[in-house]
Amino acid sequence: MNARMDADCKKHAVNLSSYFDGELHGNALAKLESHLESCTACQGELETYNKIRKALIYFATGSQKGKPPGKSNPAQDGGEDEPTQK
């Protein structure tokens, strides 16, 4: 998270997970959404939640045998990576 959470953020932080999961409703939802419009710290927290969710889904599906996104799979490329010359 780039921005620091202030006292107002800490008041809303307890609802971020519920909001992210679509479980926040009513007045609490309206207050948090209003806060998120201008709070980069809380926006950053939600982005972190999103990255974690994507990583969990990625690894749960076994994509590329657990390799992080962006890494090639030699079996799909047609061979091993070429050795580095020294």
pLDDT in tens, 35-51: 999 999 999 999 999 99
Q: How confident is the model over 24-80, as pLDDT tens digits?
A: 999 999 999 999 999 999 999 999 999 999 999 888 887 655 455 555 544 444 444
Q: Which of 32, 8, 35 is nearest to 18 (CA)?
A: 32
What is residue 62's predicted lDDT score, i.e. its pLDDT? 74
Domain ranges within the chain, ordered by starting residue: 7-61
Q: Which of 50, 48, 77, 81 is nearest to 64 (CA)?
A: 77
pTM of the shown model: 0.63
As to burial, measured by CB atoms within 10 angstroms (0-12 exposed, 13-18 middle, 19+ buried), residue 13 is middle
Mean pLDDT of 15-20: 94
